[in-house]
Chains A and B, each alone.
Chain A
């Protein structure tokens, strides 16, 4: 009866082996310890109820993350049900901060530098950690938006349905500001700092 620990579909073993990864995955998207913990719990319980579904799958982690992803989207959907405009503090970059990047003729005040070939840049694992630190510093909603877009690959319609953003145009503006802020953050922390 208690030989369970070695079984592939053991929820306590899932907790031991994948609990941290699931929790980190949730935290990157909801930034709230209690909510993230609840989402991990719901995921493990749902997995338990669907253990027959797991049979034959090689990778428990991938399967569990797939369940968690749905739980997170459901959670965000409920939380973002009321569509409203982002406040200035929730914007990754305010209109004023954005304007300050350009002179009166619309040219860059600090022109972007050459980071090199994107394919080569992407190979750098330490840069991944630097980017993660920059993502951490985004305001919560902007971070969730960026992560769902760039890491989870959600499209415009899914993002609008999930996050309660009023229009596609606002969504694209938010994303462009978030990318600009991350780009600036990386230029400062990774690609050479103050000029």
Chain B
């Protein structure tokens, strides 16, 4: 019989790879008797689900956190200058309809 310590380790591992048959049975048995480890699995599942929506830079997902880092004005200008340098001669010759 595995304890909560091993069960929690396996619960995480289950999210990264397929467990062996023996481990799966041990974990199933442990959870049958241990509500805390059943909650643990649901908590990790929740974290996974919430994570999958974060940090994707999808339009509309940006406001999720007020702390989202932004380019400051100086960095933005540096980038703009480099882009201009890179596009400088191109812009004049490329005919965009």
Contact = CB atoms under 8 A, between A and B. Distances in A.
Contacts of A105: 3
Contacts of B24: none
A37 B80 CA distance: 12
Given A41-B82, A107-B4, A176-B8, A131 B47 contact: yes
Interface residues of A, number: 73
A179 B51 CA distance: 11
Contacts of A44: 79, 83
B84 to A, nearest CB: 8
A118 B49 contact: yes
B34 to A, nearest CB: 8
Contacts, number: 178
B89 interface: no
Contacts of B29: none
Interface of A: 1, 4, 7, 11-12, 15, 18-25, 27-28, 33, 36-37, 40-41, 44-45, 48, 59, 61-62, 65, 101-102, 105-108, 111-119, 121-122, 124-125, 127-129, 131-133, 135-136, 146-147, 149-151, 153, 156, 168, 171-173, 175-176, 179-180, 182-183, 186
Given A102-B5, A108-B36, A132-B54, 18 more contacts: A11-B87, A18-B57, A27-B69, A37-B71, A37-B75, A37-B79, A40-B79, A62-B58, A106-B4, A118-B45, A118-B46, A132-B55, A136-B67, A150-B47, A151-B51, A172-B16, A176-B13, A183-B47
A172 B62 contact: no
B12 A180 contact: yes
Interface of B: 3-6, 8-9, 12-13, 15-17, 35-37, 39-40, 42-59, 62, 64-71, 75-76, 78-80, 82-84, 86-87, 91-92, 96
Contacts of B92: 1
Contacts of A173: 9
Given A108-B4, A150-B48, A25 B91 contact: no
Contact of B64 (A18, A115, A118, A128): A128
B96 A23 contact: no
Nearest to A168: B17
